[in-house]
Amino acid sequence: MIHTVEFEIGERTMTIESGRVAKQANGAVTVRYGDSMILASACASREAVEGQDFMPLSVDYREKAYAAGKIPGGFFKREGRPSEKEILSCRIIDRPIRPMFPEGYTNEVQIIVMVLSHDRQNDPDTLGLIGTAAALAISDIPFPDTLAGVRVGRVNDEFVINPTLAQQEESALNLIMAGTADSITMVEGGAYEVPEEIMVEAMRFGHEHIKLIAAKIDELKAQCGKTKKEVTPKEVNSALIARIDELLGDRIKQMNSIASKDERGDAKFELSKEICTALEAEFPDDLKKIKAYIREKDEAEMRRMIVEESRRLDNRGLDVVRPITCDVSVLPRTHGSALFTRGQTQALVTVTLGTKIDEQRLDELEGESTKSYMLHYNFPPFSVGEVRPMRGVGRREVGHGALAERALNPIIPVGDRSPYTIRIVSDILESDGSSSMASVCGGSLAMMASGVPVKAPVAGIAMGLIKEGEKVIILTDILGDEDHFGDMDFKVTGTADGVTALQMDIKIKGIDLETMRMALEKARVARLHILGEMAKTISQPRSDISQYAPRIITIKINPEKIGDVIGPGGKIIRAIVEETGAKIDIDDDGTVLIASVEAAAGEAARDRVLAIVEEAEIGKEYDGVVRRITDFGAFVEILPGTDGLIHISELAHERVERVEDVLKLGDHVQVKVINIDGDGKVRLSRKALLPEPEGYVAPPPRSGGYGSRPPRSGGHDRRDGGRRPRSRG
């Protein structure tokens, strides 16, 4: 049986339907909004995974090319590996649902979202989040709370729910939220220096609509929801727990007073190894349980320290940012570089400036586009002292890179302010909390060092949360362990004037708006502190770009002249590139970008292009070449592709009977433009540049009007294309 709920949101109709397709999944729905439609399915294994100590959840979001009436490119003509957009959409779905599963549930769960139709107006990523929440709600998979998600924009100072793609281009805010009827569980988005109080109001606005969608999902659940499977609690071996507690004593508490991450980690590793060895003979099959319980005790002790003693692992105060050092231009041949270190987190960030040819070309469901700014994030294993294979970019790298890219996007110069394609690369050299925020700070420093005229510096900070009962403690600049054992990871970036990006993940059921307000305010104070530390090294962009970066000259030409510059088969433009060493790119609107490392090469290429497209000006003098001679004058090429006529009367002050008496084909001659008529025909004068002879008297004008000769016999004039009549005898 088909079950449907339909409702209005954002002045459009949203329809959630179950029972028509994918009926063998534990739960499956389609969500339609406008003409965008997705299918979301949720499946779980029948048995728990033995020995599993974490939630085995996988989320896949796939866009079908047929959804937008397209055929995939490439040799195989089928969808390939996930794009960055698909990976980021997977993360948007995964992050809010993962902490909602009940503790102890270790059955494998797989979420698959397929984009079936895309109207190029309504973004399907939020539909995937809503569809996933609905599929889990109606399934028998243990998922106790009803979740929903929305996107919030701000256009003309008004909040907009689920803005269209066109509205997103105009919006000062692009915020994706997830939550239940009672609380917010995930936030991610970017903004153009939006004040904190507006961010809070945006979340309030979004949460009201989340409540509406969650209520409609509950209606669907009431129609067709399955009975939830029970979760069997883990068996507790009290004898094993007692023996571990006996061996641990207060040693974890002592080790948590070690400020250094490496020393503290080594001590805890040796402790875990010692206890496992001591209990191996007595409990040979429980080594995993022993390690898991030691981690639980470690987490409990860290949280107790913070709640009861207001003491952190590195002995900082709750609102204190770790020591910061900044260095710029640390790499000699890059266009820009910075080394940003905060505590034991360190990012080496570089900036490379390219031309329009270097833009990234995107082919997405929304259509083809180009991207002239990108940030790539790398997290090598040595940054955390680990050994693991390096097998390309994972979802973590894509997600962290996208967050840092979004954070810096509002300050990137556009249009005439900078013609460059900008690529930022952040290589994490050390990590103990918030390497993505270090990437933001390092990226800001590296761009200023490279001479990119950024609007303002940007800094980022990661905030944490410990919630025990009614007691809520917010931590500034969290460590890796505080992130791992805490309840929230809330990253906020911005300039001195406002927020540019934020991302919040939590491990509890949700948090309220007042807690969000407190976290944002503390993040603002910390951000201003970091900006102050960065300004001690470099406070504004350098006045000139690196000597190794391409110099880009921008000129504008008549679009009708583009073909003249390119030449037949690209012959002319290739010759200019080969002879000067510069790169040349021409837009359809006549914008020409000329790039070269050496300034002289760019100027030479510019001069060549200008010479081709230059148009004659009245009163200007030219060195021309005689290309054709007629009875009434000579045609002289004064510019590439531009000829003008020197009438016989304009060759000299004295009367000239034959043009050949003065000029011959191929002669160079100095001329002046004396007229350009409405048809663009150019009239030249050689006489105007010659000194008048002594005692010179101008001859009377020739009959037939200005510069004309009397018609020849037969009434035809060759200048008019006529011919002399033949004799008929």
The answer as to whether 314 is a domain residue is no
Of 275, 255, 286, 276, which Cα lies nearest the Cα of 481?
255
Beta-ladder partners of 430: 346
Kindly state whether residues 364 and 294 are assigned to the same domain.
no
pLDDT score at 726: 39
pLDDT score at 564: 86
Kindly state whether residues 423 and 482 are assigned to the same domain.
yes
Kindly state whether residues 81 and 127 are assigned to the same domain.
yes
Domain endpoint, select from 182, 202, 224: 224
The answer as to whether 158 is a domain residue is yes
Cα→Cα distances 564→388, 586, 614, Å: 56, 12, 11
Q: Is 646 exposed, middle or buried (0-12, 13-18, 19+ CB in 10 A)?
A: buried
Residue 371, CB-side half-sphere exposure with 13 Å CA sphere: 15
Distance between CA atoms of 102 and 144, rounded to whole angstroms? 8
Kindly state whether residues 572 and 716 are assigned to the same domain.
no
The answer as to whether 708 is a domain residue is yes
User: Can you say whether the dihedral through the CA atoms of 45, 50, 55, 60 is positive or negative?
Assistant: negative
The answer as to whether 319 is a domain residue is no
Distance between CA atoms of 190 and 112, rounded to whole angstroms? 26
Beta-ladder partners of 5: 16
pLDDT score at 698: 65
- Strand, coil or helix: what is 284? coil
Encoded amino acid at 618, one letter:
I
Residue 376, CB-side half-sphere exposure with 13 Å CA sphere: 12
Q: Is 547 exposed, middle or buried (0-12, 13-18, 19+ CB in 10 A)?
A: exposed
Q: Helices 124-138 and 196-224 meet at what angle, rounded to 10?
A: 40
What are the pLDDT digits (tens) for 479-491? 988 888 888 899 9
Encoded amino acid at 671, one letter:
V
Please tell me the total count of domains within the chain: 5
Q: Residue 636: how many CB atoms within 10 A of its CB?
A: 26
CB 653, CB 698: distance < 8 Å: yes
Q: Which long-range contacts (C-beta less than 8 Å, at least 24 apart) are formed by 258-261?
A: 259/313, 259/314, 259/315, 260/344, 261/344, 261/432, 261/479, 261/480, 261/481
Domain endpoint, select from 480, 502, 535: 535
Kindly state whether residues 144 and 80 are assigned to the same domain.
yes
Of 479, 499, 501, 497, which Cα lies nearest the Cα of 489?
479
Which pTM value belongs to this model? Answer: 0.83
Using left for φ > 0, alpha for ψ between -120 and 50, and beta otherwise, residue 464 falls in beta
Distance between CA atoms of 515 and 520, rounded to whole angstroms? 9
Kindly state whether residues 137 and 10 are assigned to the same domain.
yes
The answer as to whether 709 is a domain residue is yes
Of 181, 114, 191, 113, which Cα lies nearest the Cα of 152?
191
Kindly state whether residues 378 and 414 are assigned to the same domain.
yes
The answer as to whether 729 is a domain residue is no
Complete edge-to-edge strand list for the sheet that includes strand 421-430: 324-328, 336-342, 345-354, 421-430, 373-378
What CATH number corresponds to the domain at position 555? Answer: 3.30.1370.10
Q: Which residues, in sequence order, are CB contacts of 648 under 8 Å at separation 6+?
A: 631, 632, 633, 656, 659, 707, 709
Q: Helices 261-279 and 287-309 meet at what angle, rounded to 10?
A: 140
Q: Residue 24: how many CB atoms within 10 A of its CB?
A: 7
CB 688, CB 672: distance < 8 Å: yes
What CATH number corresponds to the domain at position 88? Answer: 3.30.230.70
Q: Which residues, in sequence order, are CB contacts of 255 under 8 Å at separation 6+?
A: 264, 267, 268, 271
604's tokens: 């030479």
350's tokens: 């570089």
Alpha helix ranges (H) inside 56-178: 84-97, 124-138, 165-170
The residue to which tokens 């449907």 are assigned: 4
Distance between CA atoms of 486 and 539, rounded to whole angstroms? 34
CB 436, CB 491: distance < 8 Å: yes
Kindly state whether residues 185 and 39 are assigned to the same domain.
yes
Q: Is 520 exposed, middle or buried (0-12, 13-18, 19+ CB in 10 A)?
A: buried
Cα→Cα distances 709→244, 644, 654, 660, 716, Å: 118, 19, 16, 17, 12
Kindly state whether residues 365 and 450 are assigned to the same domain.
yes
Distance between CA atoms of 652 and 669, rounded to whole angstroms? 12
Of 407, 630, 591, which Cα lies nearest the Cα of 498?
407
The residue to which tokens 């305010």 are assigned: 521
Q: Each residue of 480-514: b (16+ CB within 10 Å) or e?
A: bbbbebbbbbbbbbbbeebbbbbbbbbbeebbeee
**Beta-strand runs (E) in 234-388:** 324-328, 336-342, 345-354, 360-364, 367-371, 373-378
**Host H or E run for residue 449:** helix 435-450
Of 195, 36, 13, 242, which Cα lies nearest the Cα of 128?
36
Cα→Cα distances 152→17, 163, 168, 198, 393, Å: 24, 7, 9, 12, 30
Beta-ladder partners of 352: 423
The answer as to whether 601 is a domain residue is yes
Kindly state whether residues 531 and 458 are assigned to the same domain.
yes
Cα→Cα distances 430→247, 379, 480, Å: 33, 9, 11
What domain range is 244 assigned to?
Answer: 238-309
Q: Helices 435-450 and 395-408 meet at what angle, rounded to 10?
A: 50
Kindly state whether residues 573 and 647 are assigned to the same domain.
no
Kindly state whether residues 292 and 346 are assigned to the same domain.
no
How large is the C-alpha radius of gyration of the chain? 36
The residue to which tokens 């004659």 are assigned: 616
- Cα–Cα–Cα angle for 670, 673, 678, rounded to 5 degrees: 150
Q: Is 384 exposed, middle or buried (0-12, 13-18, 19+ CB in 10 A)?
A: middle
Q: Is 279 exposed, middle or buried (0-12, 13-18, 19+ CB in 10 A)?
A: middle
Instruction: Transcribe 433-446 into DSSP letters.
Output: S-HHHHHHHHHHHH
Q: Which residues, in sequence order, are CB contacts of 453 under 8 Å at separation 6+?
A: 413, 417, 418, 541
91's tokens: 């993360």
Q: Which residues, given as ranges, of the chain have pLDDT below 50?
A: 703-729
The answer as to whether 650 is a domain residue is yes
User: Can you say whether the dihedral through the CA atoms of 319, 322, 328, 334 is positive or negative?
Assistant: negative
